Each structure stands twice: as structure tokens, then as C-alpha cells.
Amino acid sequence: MWDRLEELVRKYNALSEEMARPEVATDPKRLSQLAQEQAELAPLVRAYERYKEVQAQLESARAMLEDEELAELAREEVAALERESQRLEEELKRLLLPKDPNDERNVIMEIRAGAGGEEAALFAADLARMYMRYAERKGWDTEVLSSNPTGIGGYKEIIFLVKGKGAYSRLKYESGVHRVQRVPETEASGRIHTSTATVAVLPEMEAVEVHIDPKDLRIETFRASGPGGQHVNRTDSAVRITHLPTGLVVTCQDAKSQLQNRQKAMQILRARLHAMEEARRLQELGEKRRSQVGTGERSEKIRTYNFPQNRVTDHRIGLTLYKLPDILDGDLDEIIDALITEDQTRRLAEEVSSNGQREGTDE
């Protein structure tokens, strides 16, 4: 660990030296690339520098223990510095964990009504609004790519893009089945119903990153239906793309032009193909995807929103919060932060276990 830290500090300093070179300083693209690399290393370098400062202070404080007049004060200082040293060591271990290469990407979110009929569609709309409000709080932009609305304000399906630095690193924990317990507006007897909606979170992929052979696509156009402006039912602006090798079908009709709908459909198709390939790769590696906090299977029930009790419970980590209206208004950070902490703790434990097994094998 410590050799790795020293290596990263050297890399950080080398980046500073390279950015100071005249030929780099006058190349905005190269300068921006180096600055981004350095910014990613900065939290780790700062934590490591602070750790070394604390170690130096700890050595001095321990030396003071031999002085009878200062021993009591020194003991208090040693205890405080040891706690700080332990905290920094844990932070450094977390910062050294391998990063998900998709963390900085934009996100394509797919929300579909599950069990519960019209009430499930209304819940899907509530979830879509919750994530859009969360994106707004984070300063991210959103764009609806495709939707299938119902007559009373719900969605059978809605797919939208979230554009912002680090969007995937936060929202990837939302994949799975979300459950709502409440009295529907259409329920005359006041009986509580349980409905579900599924959420899929996919990193947005660029065209150059996912190769799609045009020969593998069947592209159909038809007249859009539902709300959307003058183009609805007047021109063949809606697009349906079928990826023949996999059978994946993507339909887009929200945009006003056929070209825009085709571009949006291809965005969704690329993300889905990447997700399929990633799932296949994980299966080949023998990884149990369902055991990972951040990449639960779509069939896994991850969270319940209970209206009578004003309660939201995340079942993966046993977290319950009694502020349902705030959460549905996009106040998700407390839940997401807890999920990130749990994910990092699990990965650290796996890393320690793996290192222990390697050491045992070496012996």
C-alpha cells in the first residue's frame, strides 16, 4: 500500500512538471487532460501528506511521554493523533480501491411500471420526478429520450438522460425494483395497495465505444402517438430500431423529427448493448453481481416507499428514513452516501481477505 502511495505521489508531481512545460502550457487539449489526471489524484495525495504529518506529530508526542511534567498532556495528544492516523489510513485504503471506469459518465435511466396497473405507472412517474429533482439539486441536466405515458399522468415506461460529471458514480446504486405502499387515488375503500416499478441505470456510451454494424439493424418509422406537439399523427417521425443479433428493440417518438428520434434510439441501444456485454463478462469471471451493492439485478427489491408511515427503507443496507416527501423531492444524498460507504466497506473487506489469501499462498 505504501509503495503504491509513493508511486502515485511521484506521478502527481510529474504531472505538475509536465503541465509547466511551455509546449504543454500552449496546448489546451493536452493541458486539460493532464489537469484532469492530476485532479483525480489530488484527494489521495492530500490525504497521504496529512497522514505523514500526523505520523511526524505522533513521533514527537510519544517522545514527550518520557518527560514526567508533560506525560499526561502527551498521552492525550498521542491518543488523539492515533485516532486521526487510523482514520486517515482507512481513508487512504478507500481512495486506493479501483475506480469504476464508468463513474464519470452520463447516465441513461430506464423506469418501467411493474405490478400494480395504473398505480404502478403513477409510481414510475414519481420516481422519474425524484431523479430529475435530484439531478437538478446536483446541477446536472436531464433530457427525456423516450416515454410511454398513461392517461392520468403515469408512465408505463420513461427513459431519460442525466448529464453531469460523476452522475453514474451516484445513480448506479438505484438499479432494481422499487416498491410503493399507499392508498391509490382511485381506491374508494381506503385500502393500502402495493405496487412496483423497475429502475435500470446504464452508463451512456459514445458511438466509437460500442460498434454496431448497420447491417444488424432493422429500422422502422411510424406515426407518433400521444402528447408531443403538431408532429403527432401527421408525419412518420417515430422510430423503432431492432438489433437483430440480440433481439433488442428500442422505440423513440418524443422528439419532433425522425432524425432526432433515431439519434435517441441509438443512444439507448448502445447503452443496452454495453450493459449486456458487461453482464456477460461478469458472468464469465464468476462474479456474483447480486452481491454488489451498486449493481443489483433488476429483479431485486431494493427499496420500499411506505406512505402511511412516511417511511423509506433501503433493504440492501437496512436503512430506514422517515422523510418520504423530502426523498421523493430528490433529497437522496443520505441514502446514496450510505450505499457508497457500504459498498466501499465491502470492497475493502474483500481486498483484505484477498491479500491474506495471497500471503498464505506465498508462504
| Per-chain mean pLDDT for the chain | 86
pLDDT attached to residue 363: 52
Q: What sign does the CA torsion over 306, 310, 315, 318 have?
A: negative
CA atoms within 13 A on the CB side of 28: 0
Query: Any idea where the domains of the chain sit in the sequence?
Result: 2-96, 107-345
Q: Express each pLDDT in 49-106 by its tens digit.
A: 999 999 999 999 898 888 888 888 888 899 999 999 999 988 888 888 878 888 889 9
- From 23-32, 57-66, 167-176, 284-293, the region with the lowest mean pLDDT: 284-293
251-308 residue pLDDT tens: 998 888 899 999 999 999 999 999 888 888 777 666 544 444 444 444 579 999 999 9
DSSP state of 99: P
- Per-residue CA distances from 92 to 40, 170, 345, 354, 359 (Å): 14, 20, 13, 18, 21
* CATH fold label, 107-345: Alpha-Beta Plaits (3.30.70)
| pTM assigned to the model | 0.76
Mean pLDDT check: name the lowest of 100-114, 264-278, 336-350: 336-350
The pLDDT value given to residue 290: 41
Evaluate if residue 216 carries a pLDDT over 80: yes
Asked which of 13-22, 69-78, 168-177, 181-190 is least confident by mean pLDDT, the reply is 181-190
